[in-house]
A and B are shown apart, each in its own frame.
Chain A
Amino acid sequence: MSLATDLIGEPIGADALSDLRSAVGERWVRTDPHVLDSYAAQPFHKVEVGVWIHRPIAVVMPGDATEVAAVVKACNRHHLRFKAFSTGWGAHAGAGFDNVVQIDLRRMNRILELDIENRTIVVEPYVTCAQIQAEVMRHGLNLHIHGAGSNCSPLANATSHMGMGFSSISMGYSPRNLMGIEWILPTGELVQVGSFATGAGWVSPDGPGPSLRGAIRGFAGADGGIGVFTRVGLKLYPWSGPAEIEVSGGSFRGMQVEIPPLNGSFMCIFSNLEDYGDALYDIGYAGIGYAQFKAATGLGLAIGEPELFRRIRDEPGFREQVRAFENQFIVIIGGHTQEHFDYEVAVLGDIVSEHNGTMNSTDGLMATGRGGLWWAVIRNSIAPGMFRPTGNFYSSMGGDEAIANALRQATVGEELKEGFIAEGSCADDLVDNAHTLLYENGLYAHTEELVLYDHRDREQNRKLKGLSDTVMHSIVERTLGGGGFSFFAGAYAHEVLGPHMENYHLWQRRLKSALDPEDLSDSKYFINSEGVEAAGHG
């Protein structure tokens, strides 16, 4: 792969087109090549070379769940694959094959219910994290925003992708925040999961009986491979700041905000990995923190201050000085009362000094102004900046387990990346790029090894596949916490990882076949039904 003109299938047949049009109305079906290609340009999250993925055969925009079901049924009638997305960022959101009907859920953008007392919200796919946050902050509430940023759909993340984010320490992992799901099966049947099932009028995720949450996703989501999700309940969490934040000076770089009372943001730096790791454990035990993450030094600089970053990278002395800061993380404290805030800050201070660290304000980091980084983290308005330094990035590892394992992943990750940089598979980012964060008061932790590259540099792009394979094999050989992001490499990854992980791939495939006997819910990033044994599974 791939010539720019590859990956273009046959035009859609007249019958199928007319069926899709009756499902959603003529205005909401497009088949003109320009519109189709705007869904086929997805350079992120793909190891193949170039910008283009498969051009969908049609794009449809249903307005509600009934229309989604009608689209899926039409696809079943015409034996067309389909792929839904919410905000649609990445190759995993687009067509994985020829002849895929892309379901763009943009019209389903309603906040359906907000239950302030019980801290839950019900939303459709095209409601973004930033929108929800803005709406609920005025009620003293907040939501977990996954690392991809507040431009993204929390429904997509919680039902279908991953779920870690800066606020994981106090708000967990996205799928664990699901409180009910409306699900269009790959066959077109509409299923209400959790308390939606019996129309309770409030939300709870599991039952009656077994939880179908288990069929829609695991640690990773099915990335569109198991039907379409049209409505979810989500948990909300407390917010002790004001209803709105006044922003000045810029929207990222130079951004300044007044950090409100009861809130604070601290960078904790340690002199070695052991102290850093022990401090993470202690923060977990202490039960403190509203948000927490390790901002990789090189990447942080590259996003905020690319010019400075380039200077540092290219000057050996300077480079080593900066790398000396690599054992650091940021903790954001949000108190319910002044006493609570003071308590958490004091405890953080205790922990940092017990481990010989230092604790500083985060003002000015990543080229933000006073208070800017704090707000960038709370709003999670950082993520698109990942593309600033080199135009693209790739994430690896991320099998989440004990902090001890997260630290091993970071160490192995650095080791591997030294090699990748040397062979030109990715950009030199000072190597320290493991992004680490805690979940649920430190019960377990996340590490991902990010690499920066430019897909426009075809040579570098070509090497990405090799890099991704090397990491995947290392996960198995060095027991690095699970498949993490490798799952999204699709069928091949499952064949590599499955045998080392309880043959999960066989079960995943059987479930897929049971729920999607025709294999129509685009399974490129999930699992296809090929190779399923006959009933009874031999």
Chain B
Amino acid sequence: MSLESYRCDMEGCSRCSSCKWIPLAQIRSQRWSQVCPSVWHNDFHAYSGSGKLNVALSILDGRSDFDESAADIFYACTMCGGCDVGCKVYRNDIDLTDTFHEARARAVELGFARLEHLQLVENMRAENNVFGLPRDERADWAADTSLLDANSEQVDILFHVGCRFSYDESQRDDLLAAVEILRTTGKRVGTSGTAEACCGQRAYECGFDSELHNFGDDMVNRVRTSGASMVAVACSDCFGAFNYLYPRNGKDLGVPVRHISEIAAELAADGSLVGAFSTPNATAAARPRVVTYHDPCHLGRRGEDYAGEFDGPKIDRPDNTRRDGRGGRYDAPRDVLKSLPGVTFVEMQRVREFSWCCGAGGGCAEGSESFSIAVATERLEEALSTGADTLATSCPWCVTNFTSAREQMRADGDHREIEIIGISELAARQISGEVPVTITTTATTCEEAAT
């Protein structure tokens, strides 16, 4: 694909602004009605989904150049896909984020890539992870887990850990809880250890397609070698990459991809999730919590199953080949949360396919930190408005960004309390009566480790 191939989408935009709002039928208040972090933060129309189409068309029509200022607009975007969902309530012939992706790829081609993104890609090339941390430390976390080595042993489930979970000590409890959940399936679970590499998604979102291809090929090989009948992930970015981006880019893993929340939901449904975390010490009653849930974009609207391309004019494209977000994984994490002892579950207003983004995606956590934190803060505000004391989510990137935002709020003198926690860890805590799963409790984030 190329930017040119989306001309019809660009020209088709009616400027209805549905890409700025959660779907009209879903709006429940003025305060929580916006969906697009980019235009929310930057205000001028160019930053909305529609506006970015306009900018791209302006360039294609020779009315303006693809320069630094155009690149700024394309990069001031979390690639969250909220706009796509709003638009596709009504349109079958416009693909926003795909267009933005091509614009970013063009930016890279023309030398307007962000320095931080170049660094990220550099890290990936050098160490197979986005942080540039030593590749041979990738599996250190698993030292005591006795997971199988999928490079040498046949497994049922290949657990792809992902960069953040592999290196981020602060999220170790969540990761280890995920492992417990996987074990509870009774299947043979293994990882690729230090051979595991980044899924390539974060580079791809920044406009670096070749990383996705390279890492994709590698992943396909590792899955084959492992003999797995399923790839499991606990990171939503990886989920979105494997479930949508890989097939769209011709990378066939050959087996289904499941997110830990889906696996946990199944266990919860048959009553066996409890078994994952009941320990002899679990005497304390579960801590009562009011929990709300944040839908990570890449498990939700950006992670739905790839349904192929429609071969014909897009205006005639049927619903089922569009990426409209409705096929994301929304119920599973909620089912898990609702099954947990002590949990009172409350919803925010922007949920499921029209969820507000955590701000970490699209290279923003790396390249536009203050924007990224502002977006996360906005989500914390929404979570707080529900009366929740716990914000659960199912992506380590979201957890990281929310945690940074909460720290920023504290630094700014706002001490409202809300615990930010991964869904697996929350399950462990509620079921076990708060017995930590972790082996190490000293939390070092990968950003700290990388510096």
Contact = CB atoms under 8 A, between A and B. Distances in A.
User: A and B: direct contact (Cβ < 8 Å)?
Assistant: yes
Interface of A: 4-5, 8, 28, 30, 32-35, 37-44, 51-52, 55, 59, 61, 87-90, 104, 106-107, 109, 111, 127-128, 130-135, 149-151, 244, 247, 250-253, 255, 306-307, 310, 375-376, 379-381, 383-385, 387-392, 454-456
B287 interface: no
13 contacts: A5-B62, A34-B73, A38-B48, A43-B13, A52-B63, A104-B43, A131-B30, A134-B29, A149-B16, A385-B89, A391-B12, A454-B315, A456-B8
Given A5-B61, A131-B27, A307 B318 contact: yes
A485 B45 CA distance: 27
Given A41-B54, A44-B14, A34 B90 contact: no
A58 B319 CA distance: 39
A387 B24 contact: no
Given A43-B11, A61-B43, A134 B354 contact: no
B410 interface: no
A153 B48 CA distance: 18
B23 A252 contact: yes
Contacts of A391: 12, 14, 93, 315
Given A131-B30, A388-B90, A34 B46 contact: yes
Contacts of B46: 30, 34-35, 37-38
Interface string B58-91: 1101111100011001000000000000000111
B92 interface: yes
Contacts of A88: 15, 17, 45
A131 B93 CA distance: 27
A41 B46 CA distance: 10
Given A34-B55, A151-B16, 5 more contacts: A5-B62, A379-B27, A387-B16, A387-B90, A387-B91
Interface string B159-193: 00000000000000000000000000000000000
Contacts of A5: 61-63
A118 to B, nearest CB: 21
B26 A4 contact: no
A134 B15 contact: no
Given A310-B316, A391-B315, A107 B43 contact: yes
B89 A252 contact: yes
Given A251-B24, A456-B8, A456-B12, A38 B33 contact: no
Contact of B354 (A33, A111, A251, A389): A251
Contact of B70 (A34, A106, A252, A375): A34
Binding site of A, secondary structure by majority: helix, strand, loop or mixed? loop
Given A135-B29, A391-B315, A455 B17 contact: no
A220 to B, nearest CB: 21
B64 A33 contact: yes
Nearest to B92: A388
A167 to B, nearest CB: 15
B26 A247 contact: yes
Contacts of B28: 134, 244
Given A38-B44, A376-B25, A33 B63 contact: yes
A255 B25 contact: yes
B18 interface: yes
Contacts of A40: 54, 58
B57 interface: yes
A381 B316 CA distance: 22
B57 A41 contact: yes
B35 to A, nearest CB: 11
A55 B45 CA distance: 14
Contacts of B69: 32, 34
Nearest to B53: A41
A504 B20 CA distance: 39
A132 B13 CA distance: 26
B17 A8 contact: no
A391 B91 CA distance: 8
B55 A38 contact: yes
Contacts of A456: 8, 11-12
